[in-house]
A and B are shown apart, each in its own frame.
Chain A
Amino acid sequence: MQSRAARLGLIAAVVVAAIVVFVVLKSNNSDTSSDTARGVQVLNVDATGNPVGGPKTLTYNKGDQIELHVNLAKPEDEVHVHGYEIEKPAEHSPVTFSFPAKLDGEFEVEVHRSDKTEGPIATLHVNP
């Protein structure tokens, strides 16, 4: 039968071990800056209001400047960046965005078409 002190000691050892594992694993993997998008990213939208080649995923790190040029084949209602809640009228092409990546997470960029439908044209993936 273990004594109370032995049990508490065991729990303390477990906590210490867990913290060590945490620190080791975290320092090994903290560099997530792989393949981020840089400079102006061009998104082409065809006459049906869909992105040419399907919606792209653009990866950024928090703090990067996000710069998008959305080329539209015909006038649409607006382009909407979710989460950041930036909406720009899309009567004239290109629709340009330039804003810092302040929020991390995944955000959809969506076109609100002139026929009142909506569709994704890109996904912004912002690493913390």
Chain B
Amino acid sequence: MMRMKRLKLAIGLAMASPIAALLFPDVASAHALVGRKDLPVPAWLFAWGASLVLIISFALLSVAWTTARLQTEGWRAMPRWFSTAVLNPATQVVCGLIGVGLFVLVLYAGFRGIEDPTQNFSIIFVFYTFWLGMVLLSALFGNVFRAFNPWRAIGRVISGGFRLVAGESAPTPFTYPDAFGRWPAVIGVLLFVWLELIAGGGVAPTPHKVAVATVIYSVITFACMALFGADEWIDRGETFNSYFGMFSQLGPFEVRDGQVGRRKFLTGAPQWAAIPGAAALVLTSIAVTSFDGAQEGVLSGAIRWTFERSSDIGFSLPDSFRIANTIWLLITLAVVSGLYWLGVQGMHTVRGSPPVKELGRSFAHSLIPIALAYLVAHYFSAFLYQEQAQFTYILSDPLGHGSDLFGTAGGGINYGIVGSNTVWYVQVAALVIGHVVALTLAHDRALAVYDNIRHASRSQYFMLAVMVGFTCFGLFLLSQANA
């Protein structure tokens, strides 16, 4: 993730031409956010992982259960005292304040802090602690981001104030169209990753750019909250709530009607898929992680070629970088979506299938574990390194101006915290486990969608092919080069 060294191609060109070097001074000051790169997964482990995937897949099919078990959610409220302890007004206010506080700090550090991304709170917090850490928390503890969501907190204060003054709730000019579904989040995730990987034009985005993007996103969010209603937009349209909420479907915890409740693992996922754009959201998540992994390995040659062609046409080097990477990001998205679409088409050939569109939506949730596995496999080591930064020097010196608030400013990153062998095993294990869970979800759904077991099993040969494709593709990316 965000290794500014990915700019090597730009640096290479800049070195080749002194004029280009003058035009592109930023590249020269590129500084790796992560000082240690993972080694590619070795061939023997790749072969082992891939064969394990195949063996497990067929074993799973042959021992598979014959009645759907995960389709009914069975959410049950936990004891009242627990809900009161977690969700009382005081904790809600405190969580909201923490969220707004961090939000303000991102803006302040972005606008006023040091420009070096490795030393600035806004970069480390937004791209690691928030973007990756929240996924982990969501999968384990439910959609905790909702409690800390700064836009929601501010929106609630404003609509509360309106009610106090006007004596009635603020009018909402529009109702959120059902057809929008999860599509706003799809666009949001794509733009977020574009900011992270591409906007810098070859270097990491500056803290200033991140702050500007935060302001723009906030303006859009508040505007949409005014148009569609604060809670309505947060629950259905807001990017981060939808994105983290997707991963929270795997875990057992969810808040409903002011009560914390528990369900069996994975049973939250099936109902998640029923909304338009669900498949697009999970495929986008898989695609952007794949792209980040592929750009230094499998795709580096293709991106460089596109980069050179764009600069031949006369685009500046940063713009050529943006063009080349945007094109290949979209191609990756198309390929990943195409693979899923092929699987759905395959399933559709089985007798008793619902229409393609409905079918595509019905199985979308089974890809969530794969999206999570991709994230773990690609970012787990970088996350471990950057969280050390987050809780040492970034914590004490968020602006990079030399302060030492908590006495930890002198700390640094210990890159020896995990060895290559550990990294490889975690990567392969994540993909294999994600694969098994995905197959489980798909198989269970098939039993609900098809009216007899034979058709359900037959439809799953196609999903099996899709899942094996995703997992082996994931392993292949890791064996080529690591992000």
Q: Do A and B bind each other?
A: yes
- Which chain A residues have a beta carbon within 8 Å of chain B's beta carbons? 2, 7, 10-11, 14, 17-18, 21-22, 25-26, 28-30, 32, 48, 50, 54, 82-85, 102-108, 113, 116-120, 125, 127-128
8 contacts between A and B (CB under 8 A): A14-B56, A21-B51, A83-B36, A107-B37, A120-B8, A120-B11, A128-B420, A128-B421
Of B18, B35, B44, B420, which is within 8 A of A29 by CB? B44
B290-318 interface code vs A (CB 8 A; 1 in, 0 out): 00000000000000000000000000000
B65 to chain A, nearest CB (A): 10
Q: Are B31 and A118 in contact (CB under 8 A)?
A: yes
Interchain residue pairs A-B with the least CB separation, the first 7: A117-B28, A29-B44, A106-B37, A83-B36, A82-B35, A83-B35, A128-B420
Q: Is A10 in contact with B39, judged by CB distance below 8 angstroms?
A: no
**Of A22, A107, A117, A128, which contacts B419 at CB under 8 A?**
A128
Tell me if B62 and A10 are in contact (CB < 8 A): yes
Tally of A-B Cβ pairs under 8 angstroms = 91
Docked pose: A108 CA to B51 CA in angstroms: 34
Interface contact A18-B28, CB-CB below 8 Å: no
Do A107 and B36 have beta carbons less than 8 Å apart? yes
- B184 CB–A CB distance under 8 Å: no
For B36, the chain A residues whose CB sits under 8 A away are 82-83, 103, 105-107
B220 at the interface (CB under 8 A from A): no
Cβ-neighbour of A125 out of B39, B52, B62, B412 (below 8 A): B39
B15: Cβ under 8 A from any A Cβ: yes
Instruction: Specify which chain B residues have a CB less than 8 angstroms from the CB of A50 in the assembled complex.
Output: 15
Chain A residue numbers with a CB within 8 Å of B59 are 10-11, 14
Q: Is B407 an interface residue (CB 8 A)?
A: no
Interface check B29, CB cutoff 8 A:
yes
Bound CA span A106–B420, Å: 10
Quick check: A18 and B52 within 8 Å, CB to CB?
A: yes
B43 near A: Cβ within 8 Å?
Answer: yes
Given A14-B59, A104-B39, A105-B38 in contact, is the A118-B28 Cβ separation under 8 Å? yes
Chain A nearest CB, measured from B101 CB (Å): 31
Mark B residues whose CB is within 8 Å of A: 5, 8, 11-12, 15, 18, 25, 28-32, 35-39, 42-45, 47-48, 51-52, 55-56, 59, 62-63, 412, 415-416, 419-421
Decide yes or no: A21 and B28 within 8 Å by CB, A103-B415, A107-B35 being known contacts.
Answer: no
**CB of A16, distance to nearest CB on chain B (Å):** 11
Flag if B32 contacts A82 (CB, 8 Å). yes
The chain A residue sitting closest to B423, CB to CB, is A105
A28-B44 CB under 8 A given contacts A7-B63, A82-B32, A105-B415: yes
Q: Is the CB of A18 within 8 A of B55?
A: yes
Known: A14-B56, A50-B15, A102-B416. A29 touches B43 (CB 8 A): yes
Q: How far is the CB of A50 from chain B (nearest CB, A)?
A: 5
New A-B pairs, 6, CB < 8 Å, besides A18-B52, A30-B44, A117-B25: A21-B48, A25-B48, A29-B42, A104-B39, A108-B35, A127-B420
- Please measure, in the bound complex, the distance between the C-alpha atom of A119 and the C-alpha atom of B8, giving whole angstroms: 9
Whether A85 contacts B35 by the Cβ 8 Å rule is yes
**Which residues of B have CB within 8 Å of A18?**
51-52, 55-56
- B52 partner, pick from A21, A84, A102, beta carbons under 8 A: A21
Q: Known: A21-B48, A103-B36. Is A108-B62 also a contact (CB below 8 A)?
A: no
CA distance in complex: A127, B39 (Å): 8
- Cα–Cα, bound, A14→B55 (Å): 7
A32 to B8, CA, bound (A): 27
Q: Report Cα–Cα, A17/B55, bound state, in Å.
A: 9
What is the minimal beta-carbon distance from B34 to any residue of chain A, in angstroms?
A: 9
Q: Are B5 and A120 in contact (CB under 8 A)?
A: yes
